[in-house]
Amino acid sequence: MKNLFRLSFLLIFLAFFSACSGTATSEQQIEEIETATEVTTVYLVRHAEKDTTDASNEDPELTEAGHARAEALRALLEGQEIDALYATKYMRTGQTLYPLASERNLEVVQYEGHDFEGLKARILQEHRGQTVVVAGHSNTLLPIIEAFGATKPFEEIADSQYRYLFKLTVRPDSTASVEVTEFGA
């Protein structure tokens, strides 16, 4: 009788232990499923108007109109949760994101301007399910859109065009789509 009691106790203990370890696995699986069902949003913007008075200056600052457009970007995204900001090494891209960075106390992370696949991989690895704003250039935004697998909305961005904000939506199955908004002056 004592052995039967011990055996029953042992079986109950093992069943309880198995159930607990199964719960941990289930919670982990639920977390992985939740992450896999989240949409990643990437806002892409060309740097705002730059000072072109000195043609030899390869890293000009924004003009007054450029600073106004950067502020317009901040206002446009005011209701959006932003998790990360990315800009190239040039002052104009960082200055375009400065009002957002300042308001939200976010660091502007530098990325290599022509490494489209690297940027995609970094965003999807570090910010999956989050919202990111990337400041780029007229000749880099459309290739970034294509790197994510979306169809570029037009063939090129003219050197005089600063008004586009691209909202790139990357679904959990890695398919992507893009919407275009115009903003600023």
Q: Is 182 exposed, middle or buried (0-12, 13-18, 19+ CB in 10 A)?
A: exposed
Distance from C-alpha of 133 to C-alpha of 144, rounded to nearest angstrom: 12
Q: By three-state DSSP, how is residue 120 classified?
A: helix
Domain extent at residue 164: 38-182
Confidence band, pLDDT 50/70/90 cuts, at residue 10: very low
Considering the domain architecture, whether residues 64 and 92 belong to the same structural domain is answered as yes
Average pLDDT over residues 144-152: 98
Considering the domain architecture, whether residues 117 and 166 belong to the same structural domain is answered as yes
Considering the domain architecture, whether residues 102 and 140 belong to the same structural domain is answered as yes
Longest Cα pair distance anywhere in the chain, in angstroms? Answer: 97
For the stretch 50-82, pLDDT in tens is 999 999 999 999 999 999 999 999 999 999 999
Considering the domain architecture, whether residues 18 and 49 belong to the same structural domain is answered as no
Considering the domain architecture, whether residues 44 and 108 belong to the same structural domain is answered as yes
Considering the domain architecture, whether residues 116 and 59 belong to the same structural domain is answered as yes
Outline where DSSP puts E strands in 28-127.
40-46, 84-87, 108-110
Considering the domain architecture, whether residues 21 and 68 belong to the same structural domain is answered as no
Question: What is the number of structural domains in the chain?
Answer: 2
Higher-pLDDT residue of 56, 33: 56
Residues sharing a CB contact under 8 Å with residue 150, sequence separation 6 or more, in sequence order: 168, 176, 177, 178
Average pLDDT over residues 124-131: 98
Considering the domain architecture, whether residues 53 and 103 belong to the same structural domain is answered as yes
CB 38 within 8 A of CB 172: yes
pTM of the model: 0.81
- Looking at residue 90, its pLDDT comes to 98
